[in-house]
Structure 1
């Protein structure tokens, strides 16, 4: 496994209950600031295998980015069960719910 992939998986696993991170934020934390699409592919292909909390990852605008209606609904439901408020447009208040791992103790 590539170092970026390992670090991204580790970062995603650390997103706490009731918080979200963005694809770009995860990519930057894993060492590739322009690797947001890589994070999306990683989530798509490795979430089950590594038991990743995929539902806690949103786009840079704080929106659920999944196009598939069923998966989008599932992500919103999982987030709401964790206390994350999602508005009618699928948007989350990042000022309130964004996890900043650099501000946490490692």
Structure 2
């Protein structure tokens, strides 16, 4: 893998580590925050490779609030279980009240 890709993945991990407990964000939102708006899929690849890196990958979902990355977690419902343990409501792989639990690093981190 090229060095640029690894650096991008590291940046993705740093943003993902900032997602507050009980909140979620999307692949595309992280990509946009990092100045790579068309790289949502690369953010997904980074999340897939985040095992063992202390990254809360369960808090990153698609732009509609679907748990599209759930098959990369051990166990059939681990992603949902992790989110629910943080108070996020999930029904049929869909986060409920998505707008109220959505976290945008561009808005949150600029105000600090």
TM interval, short-chain normalised: 0.7 to 0.9
Cα deviation for residue 77 of structure 1 reads 0.3
TM-score norm. by structure 2 comes to 0.81
**Corresponding residue of 2:18:** 14
Q: Matches of 1:58 and 1:41 in 2, distance apart? A: 12
Q: Matches of 2:70 and 2:83 in 1, distance apart? A: 17
TM-score norm. by structure 1 comes to 0.85
List gaps (5 residues or longer) in structure 1: none
Q: Which moved more, 1:96-105 or 1:27-36?
A: 96-105
Closer, same or farther: CA 71–65 of 1 in aligned 2, 3 Å:
farther
Task: Give CA deviations for 1:43-102 in whole Å, capped at 9, x if unaligned.
Answer: 111332x21001001111101003639645100000000001111x21113211101222
Q: Does the CA-based 8 Å contact 2:70-2:79 persist in structure 1?
A: no
- CA-atom RMSD, angstroms? 2.0
Q: Matches of 1:54 and 1:62 in 2, distance apart? A: 14
2:43 to 29, 39, 42: 39
Verify: 1:82 aligned to 2:86, yes or no: yes
**Equivalenced residues, count:** 104
